[in-house]
């Protein structure tokens, strides 16, 4: 069957990283993103792609460039381009799916996508008592600004000290363990083994930030952050990394003479964009959005999950991987990453999926005809994205679906109220550490009338006890002012 001229295809991928201790010599995020796109064009075998770009699309990082796509276009020699900026809370699969859909519709032809961070550079500058400068960009506005429809965290979560993702994902992990019926010890061993397997993959990835394979004991022995997570369970975002992708139409790829063995086709993308704070979800360890997105992609492909030969499950924390695997019907005994995951390959803020796709493209080129799955998470498994890729084109044409309605139907919000008093039952919890010591506990509690509350405890003895025993299902006493204690 002849290939339709407007078929979208990923023709070039590139990744860069730096580990420069002198912040004066280290490149800023903009320069890293430009370098990644230069590598992507070289990977495709045609720098003409950069000059022909009609669109530059970027997910926001910690940096404050107002319109990074415009800066990138100027540096790579692109002419008149349409720039996109996706704010935090927008799935990276949304950028990928929309780019492919625009190419298929003929509203774009060559799309550059880049993302990156220089947090390591910023950390070195801070140690030296100064800031790492960024290129100034006054008054710039992107042509398209993508924003999430709602907030990721609720006011109640912020008030309880759950601002950092590690605490909320730890609560998902504790809910997962309780639902599985595992003991604390058995679950800790399983989670550490999952991380060890990812570290072994990262050791083979030339673009990984940490390339030292670790065993499960090393992962369990790392400094604790929020029970049951230590430093080596979490995404490593203090990195200087960037990724660049070049997508175009099949007709343009052919016209530029891009070798067919470089082509990787987006087959299908499905996004679920319903936003509900973690503590208001009926079951913390479930994700109807991933179930819906995964089912839709498999339906579009006409295959089963066993036919997906290569996997890259978004891996900011172990519970994110476990929730996805459960909803997608993927066994945890499979290799769940081709990059090595965010704790080891590196997790540049809000752009890791682009790094992962660089690794996936290389794997698919080396295994012609196979299908790879790349997923995305925004927030606290708040939004869910699933994408499928192959060196062979989609038999039914590229599809970009929004399954938000299906996700919303499976998430009936539970009311979370402040300042409850009386007896309650723990739904999930975590304990935050100060140094090596458990210091403060946070518990999500069921009030028994269909409502919940979030309560905290500064009792260090109680915090320590909560790292030794299962507390899901335990009865506690609420004092009416946001604190809890064990029920006598």
pLDDT in tens, 125-179: 999 999 999 999 988 999 999 999 999 999 999 999 999 999 999 999 999 999 9
Last residue of a domain, one of 382, 409, 436: 409
Mean pLDDT, residues 343-362 taken together = 97
- Whether 24 maps to a domain, the answer reads yes
CATH of the domain at 428: 2.40.50.840
Residues 422 and 393 grouped into a single domain: no
- Kindly state whether residues 138 and 50 are assigned to the same domain: yes
Sorting pLDDT into bands at 50, 70 and 90, what band is 2? confident
Residues 355 and 474 grouped into a single domain? no
> Are 362 and 429 in the same domain?
no
Query: Of 409, 441, 467, which residue sits at a domain end?
Result: 409
CA gap 182, 412 in Å, rounded: 27
Please say which residue of 383, 409, 435 terminates a domain.
409
When the pLDDT of each residue in the chain is averaged and rounded to a whole number, the result is: 97
Q: Report whether 178 contacts 470 (CB < 8 A).
A: yes
Question: How many helices (H) and strands (E) are present in the chain, helices listed first?
Answer: 15, 19
Q: Is the separation of the CB atoms in 442 and 278 below 8 Å? A: no
Task: Calculate the alpha carbon distances from 404 to 54, 63, 274, 411 in Å.
Answer: 29, 29, 5, 11
- If residue 247 lies in a helix (H) or strand (E), which one and from where to where? strand 240-249
Quick one: 26 and 77 in the same domain?
A: yes
Residues 278, 357, single domain; the answer is yes
In a domain, 248, yes or no: yes
Question: Does 79 lie in the same domain as 23?
Answer: yes
Distance, CA of 260 to CA of 455 (rounded, Å): 58
Determine the pLDDT at residue 138: 84
Tokens, residue 445: 């509690």
Q: Does a structural domain hold residue 161? A: no
Question: Same domain, yes or no, for 388 and 427?
Answer: no
Residue 1 pLDDT > 70: no
Q: Are residues 429 and 316 in the same domain?
A: no
d(CA 106, CA 108): 5
Note whether residue 98 is domain-resident: yes
**Tokens 């530059």 label which residue?**
56
Give the pLDDT score at 329.
97
The DSSP H or E segment spanning 245 is strand 240-249
pLDDT over 70, % of the chain: 100
Domain count, the chain: 2
| Cα 41 to the center of its chain, rounded Å | 25
Of 11, 147, 150, whose CA–CA distance to 84 is shortest?
147
Residues 77 and 42 in one domain: yes
Look up the domain containing 291 and give its range. 8-152+236-409
Tell me whether residue 216 is in a domain: no
Q: What is the CATH number of the domain that holds 382?
A: 3.40.47.10
Could you tell me if 272 and 95 are in contact, meaning their C-beta atoms sit under 8 angstroms apart? no
Q: Do 349 and 434 belong together in one domain?
A: no
379 and 473 co-located in one domain? no
Cis status of the peptide bond prior to 228, with omega within 30 of 0: yes
């Amino acid at each position: 069957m002849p290939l339709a001229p407007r078929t979208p295809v990923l023709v070039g991928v590139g990744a860069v990283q730096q580990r420069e201790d002198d912040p004066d010599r280290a490149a800023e995020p903009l320069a890293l993103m430009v370098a990644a796109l230069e590598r992507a064009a070289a990977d495709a075998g045609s720098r003409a792609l950069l000059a022909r770009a009609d669109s530059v699309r970027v997910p926001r990082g910690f940096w404050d460039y107002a319109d990074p796509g415009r800066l990138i276009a100027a540096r790579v020699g692109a002419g008149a381009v349409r720039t996109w900026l996706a704010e935090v809370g927008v799935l990276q699969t949304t950028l990928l799916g929309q780019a492919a859909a625009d190419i298929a519709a003929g509203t774009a032809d060559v799309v550059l996508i880049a993302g990156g961070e220089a947090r390591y550079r910023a950390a070195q500058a801070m140690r030296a008592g100064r800031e790492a400068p960024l290129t100034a960009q006054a008054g710039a506005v992107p042509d398209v600004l993508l924003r999430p429809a709602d907030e990721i965290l609720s006011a109640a979560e912020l008030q309880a000290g759950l601002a950092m993702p590690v605490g909320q994902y730890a609560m998902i992990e504790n809910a997962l363990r309780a639902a599985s019926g595992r003991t604390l010890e058995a679950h800790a061993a399983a989670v550490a083994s999952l991380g060890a397997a990812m570290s072994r993959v990262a050791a083979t990835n030339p673009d990984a930030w940490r390339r030292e394979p670790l065993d499960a004991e090393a992962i369990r022995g790392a400094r604790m952050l929020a029970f049951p997570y230590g430093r080596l369970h979490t995404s490593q975002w203090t990195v200087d990394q960037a990724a660049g992708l070049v997508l175009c139409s099949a007709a343009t790829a052919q016209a530029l003479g891009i070798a067919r063995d470089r082509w990787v086709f987006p087959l299908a993308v499905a996004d679920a964009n319903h936003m509900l704070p973690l503590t208001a979800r009926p079951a913390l360890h479930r994700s109807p959005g991933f179930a819906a997105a995964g089912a839709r992609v498999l339906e579009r492909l006409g295959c089963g999950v066993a036919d997906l030969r290569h996997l890259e499950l978004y891996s900011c924390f172990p519970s994110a991987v476990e929730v996805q695997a459960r909803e997608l019907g993927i066994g945890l005994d499979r290799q769940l990453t081709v990059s090595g995951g965010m704790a080891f390959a590196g997790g540049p803020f809000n752009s890791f999926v682009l790094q992962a796709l660089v690794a996936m493209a290389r794997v698919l080129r080396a295994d012609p005809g196979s299908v790879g799955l790349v997923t995305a998470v925004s927030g606290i498994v708040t939004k869910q994205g699933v994408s499928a890729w192959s060196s062979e084109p989609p038999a039914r044409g590229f599809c970009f679906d929004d399954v938000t309605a299906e996700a919303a139907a499976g998430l009936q919000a539970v009311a979370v109220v402040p300042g409850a008093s009386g007896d309650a039952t723990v739904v999930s919890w975590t304990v935050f550490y100060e140094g090596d010591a458990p210091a403060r506990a946070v518990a999500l509690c069921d009030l028994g009338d269909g409502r919940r509350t979030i309560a905290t405890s500064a009792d260090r003895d109680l915090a320590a006890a909560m790292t030794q025993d299962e507390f899901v299902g335990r009865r506690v006493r609420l004092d009416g002012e946001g604190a809890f204690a064990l029920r006598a």
